[in-house]
Structures are given as structure tokens and as C-alpha cells.
Amino acid sequence: MPLSTALLIQRIGAVFAGLPDTRGKSNNQRYAMEDAALAAFSIFFTQSPSFLDSQVRMQKQQGKNNALSLFGVHQIPSDNQIRNLLDPVPPDTLFGSMTTIGDELYRGGYLNGFRSINDSFLIALDGTDFFSSEKISCPCCTQSKLKNGKILNRHIAVTPVLVCPGQKSVVALPPQFVLPQDGHDKQDCELAASGRWLDQWGSHYAAWGITYLGDDLYCHQSHCARVLGQHANFLFTCKPESHATLYEWVADFARNGEVTTISIPRRIGKKSFTDTYRTASQVPLRNSDDALMVNWCELVTTNANGDVLFRNAWATSHQITADNVAALAAAGRARWKIENENNNTLKTKGYHFEHNFGHGKKNLSNLFATMILLAFLLHTTLELIDVSFRAVRDSLPSRRTFFEHLRALIHYLPFDDWDHLMRFMLKHLDHDPPETG
């Protein structure tokens, strides 16, 4: 059966049905765990905090509602009931759903356009804050001491994504949350969480052929060795101020004529630019006898006046040649997509990633963050595999406009299923229904 919105939500519902239920037999069990989880997920999928309230009214007025027909919510719990039921649920119970969706996209060939340097897939790693408060806390919070002496409670997640130069979208992978036992320094916490992610998922994705991307924080010997131990490659930003030994060797190589320089002119319209690449092979990552030997590449872009417009450098396990140096630098620059197309989208494009939908006393904040990532992954997946969904998105190319239309319709009109909703939108957008086969 081909993947579709209805099928994917049905599969997610099956996972939700198996969530742990900590209620005792004497507790009121009117609402199933599946209904509570699907109700919460429907809010994140529709980007509509008021979705459930509107569906309660629709049921009273019209005898049917979209929470049931589109998401399979049989009984709609209140917000407080959802929070109470889901708070004990560990977020990692949903990680498998994200992995399964990615695996199906890979097996179906939908990710072939994401292949990059040496035919590998690029996984960008980065940490991002999604909650902070001086008053609210839970056992999953990390704590930072402020200059005024107060304690800031924070939630931080490493949110790996599949990226590729030239691809406007990213594919979200299971997150890893920074936890209190990781330490108190943000960068150390992020690196430790990324290491746990590699230990848990590195072997799973190794068969795809992976190159990991990250900022200078990740260009650390133990982390690079961990990547190699997962039969993958790395391409990490490498700054002079944090890698003095490596740059001393690069300077020595340059004096001996062992640094290769390649200049490539290009034009964009009437403007001229020059990309100058410098590369060095087998330089030590740190000052120690057991230093990992890496390959180094620098890119400097100048305009016609010689002004420097861009400068960056990377350490990599890939061999660097004149034939692949430009592609390698482009892959390294794709790391920014985790900031722009992932973290920024989650925080500013309707997903409300930093909004406190419910902090809880145990796992709720991290669980809701995982659901938001799952909804984001589902939206990306549907653009790749569902021709009707993609046709609607093509007619409403702005993400904001698309969700404005979606929210308005499902707040006031009941639909039989997702296919009915997509046909309705296409009809009123003067778009011929696509051939679905």
C-alpha cells in the first residue's frame, strides 16, 4: 500500500495505542492513551492550538468532527486530561515512529535526491533550546546559573536532520535530549547528547552511507573517532582558535608547498566571484601522539574587488581532490540548513517549538517536543510521497498560507477523510486532481 496521510497517521495511532498507561485500575479510564496522544498530535500537525475545542463544538452542532475522521480520536480529552495522561510517557517511545518513516522513504527511493559528497547522505547535528524558565522546572530540566545568581531551567535537544545542498527541505530524525546528568555546561551537554545519539542510531544509519556535519564543537577527537567507529565519515567546521595544532601543521605544509590551492571563478548575473580552495592532507587534529589524522579544506569567496565575502574551513575524513573539493565545501555549508530549515522553521513557522504546551512533572515537555518533530517530519514526508498533498502545497507554496487554509477549513467544515479534504482544497484552488495511480 502506498504511503499516504491517512496511512501514516493510522500507523502513528497504532504506536500511540501501545504507550505505557500508568493509571491504576481504580483510576478513571474514560479516555484511552491513544486518544490522548492523537489529540495532542493533531494540534501539532494542524498547527492549531484551538483545534480540539473547535472539534468539540463541531460535534455538538453537526454530529461529527475532524478529530475523529482525520486523526482517529474517538473521545476528545480536555487539555488537562491530555497532560496528565501523557506526562509519564518517555519521549523515546516515539523515536521508532520517526525512524520507520525515514526508513520507508529511503527504501522507496524518495531520498535519492539527498545524496551528496561521495554519494553519502548528510546528517547535520546541532543542539537547540526549546524551553527556559526561572520558575518552572521538572526532572528533565538542565540548570544554568545566571549572572544575577538565579537558576534558569532549560530544555535542550539535539535535533539531527538529513540535509543536502540544493534541497529546500530537511528530513527530521529522532532527537536526543540533553539531560541533567550530562553536566552543567551547554556545549559539553550538547556534545555528550550527540555522542549518545551516535551510540544509539549510528549503526542503524550506517548502511545508508553517512557523512556527519557539525559546527566547531563537534570537531573534537573523541567525537570524530566515535563517528568513524560507526563506519561513517565526518565533515566538521574547524576554526583556528580551537585547533591551534592543526593550523600550525597547515602553515608548515604551506611553507613547504604542500597545501593545494584551487581558484574557481563564477558569475551570478553581472556579478563576478572567485572561490579559492586550500586543502591539506593528513594533518593532526590535536597535539598528542594518538592524534587523529584528518584532511583539511578552506574556502574563501571574494568579489571582483577582492573583498572577502565568505570564509570557512572544515576537517574531514573524506579524501579531498580537485574533482570533489567544491562539492565537499558545498556539503559542509549545508550544515546551516539545520539552523535555517529546521530549528528556525520549528520556532517561527507555526510549529511553536518554544511554546510551553505543558511542562509536566516528568516527561511532558520532551514528549511534546518529540511530537512536534514527528509532525514536522510527516509534513516533509507528505510533500515527498503524497501527490495530492504536494499538489495543494504547490498551489499554496507559503507554509503559513497553507496552514491558514487548512485551519480555516477543518475548524468549520467536517471531512470524511484526508482524501476528501485534499480533493476539496484542490477543487477550490482551481487545481485539477492529480493522477494518483
Structure confidence by residue, pLDDT tens digits, 89-122: 999 999 999 999 999 999 999 999 999 999 999 9
Residues 295 and 260 sit within 8 Å (Cβ to Cβ): no
Assigned CATH topology for domain 93-345: Transposase Inhibitor Protein From Tn5; Chain A, domain 1 (3.90.350)
Whole-number pLDDT of residue 29: 75
Q: What is the pLDDT of residue 62?
A: 96
**pLDDT tens readout for residues 303-346:** 999 999 999 999 999 999 999 999 999 999 999 999 999 999 99
Split at pLDDT 50, 70, 90, the class of 19 is very high
pLDDT at 189 over 80: no
Q: pLDDT at position 159, please?
A: 97
Give the pLDDT confidence score for residue 3 in this predicted structure. Answer: 78
Averaged pLDDT score across all residues of the chain: 93
Give me the pLDDT at residue 181, please.
Answer: 60
Average pLDDT over residues 15-25: 88
User: Alpha-carbon distance 106 to 102, whole Å?
Assistant: 6
Percent of the chain with pLDDT over 70: 95
**CA–CA distance from 227 to each of 11, 67, 196, 298 (Å)?**
32, 43, 11, 22
The ranges of the chain annotated as CATH 3.90.350.10 are 93-345
The arithmetic mean of pLDDT across residues 278-287, rounded, is 97
Mean pLDDT of 275-286: 98
- Top mean pLDDT of 23-27, 179-183, 413-417 is at 413-417
Place of cell 483545534: 51
Strands 233-237 and 210-214: parallel
351-409 pLDDT, tens digit each: 999 999 999 999 999 999 999 999 999 999 999 999 999 999 999 988 899 999 999 99
Q: What is the C-alpha radius of gyration for the chain, rounded to an integer number of angstroms?
A: 24
| Mean pLDDT within 26-47 | 90
Q: Read off the pLDDT of residues 52-90 as tens digits, 9 standing for 90 and up.
A: 999 999 999 999 999 999 999 999 999 999 999 999 999
Residue 39 pLDDT: 98
Q: What's the predicted TM-score (pTM) here?
A: 0.94
Q: What is the dihedral of CA 238, 239, 241, 244, to 10 degrees?
A: 40
The pLDDT, as a whole number, for residue 32 is 92
At residue 434 the predicted structure's pLDDT band, cuts being 50, 70 and 90, is: low
